[in-house]
Structure 1
């Protein structure tokens, strides 16, 4: 489910099944880094959308959390985890390209920042499918552990 009015209604009605929040986590940059960060966002967005499509009865896709420095992003992510857990989500998984998040105790799965726009549509689709499969595998492991 997506974070829209229909998805929210379904999530509330089906709370016992919708126990996982997927959160895209993307860095905003301006100037020379803007293109690279935008490419990272495109991969993150495509992977999270595909994951939600495949797991829509079990997951809620959050709006993207955008940050301009990693410490601010960590604080936002920690707040999301706390509020999601207190609201009934058993699992929260962030999808990011910024490996600096490895230094923090957060449930983050990393996808590499690729220029999907410079690939053929078949190549881009295959890459997104491969990364979505990795996310689904990670979530399945977390679900089995609980």
Structure 2
């Protein structure tokens, strides 16, 4: 389910079955790395609807968490802890953070959820059919990762 009005009725009637929240982490920068940062966000934003479609009824896709790439790691992690507390208080057992920003890897052990880092693939000049194929392959890998994490817990 997505953070959309049309999905809320479904969620509210079946929320005991929706135990997983997915929070995309997207950096923002206007510095020299702007194009790379935009590409990261674009890549994750294209993957998320396909992931949600595969797990419809089991995961809740939250709106993206955007942050300044230059912000301190401690502040970002503290902000995410607030999100996690709120999400867990509403019955979600599993929380996945999905990003292409490798900076999150350094603080991964401080997160109260599962970080999935995917290297960004530049899609801007790619033909649509190749783009679709790459995204489908990435979603398959994501599916396996999430299922593995569910089984580990």
TM-score normalized by the length of structure 2 = 0.87
Q: Shift in Å at residue 120 of structure 1?
A: 1.5
Which secondary structure does the structure 2 equivalent of 1:77 belong to? helix
User: Out of 112, 124, 127, which is 2:134 matched to?
Assistant: 127
Structural mapping, 1:102-141, within 5 Å: 102-104=105-107, 105=109, 106=111, 107-141=114-148
Q: State the superposition RMSD in angstroms.
A: 1.5
1:43/1:111 contact within 8 Å kept: no
2:94 corresponds to: 91
2:17/2:57 contact within 8 Å kept: yes
Q: Which moved more, 1:102-111 or 1:18-27?
A: 102-111
Q: Write the deviation string for residues 90-134 of structure 1: whole angstroms up to 9, x where unpaired.
A: 111011011121122231111112221111212211221122112
Which secondary structure does the structure 1 equivalent of 2:3 belong to? coil
Give aligned pairs, total. Answer: 146
1:21/1:60 contact within 8 Å kept: yes
User: Out of 67, 80, 84, which is 1:77 matched to?
Assistant: 80
TM-score normalized by the length of structure 1 = 0.91
Q: Shift in Å at residue 29 of structure 1?
A: 0.4
2:103 corresponds to: 100
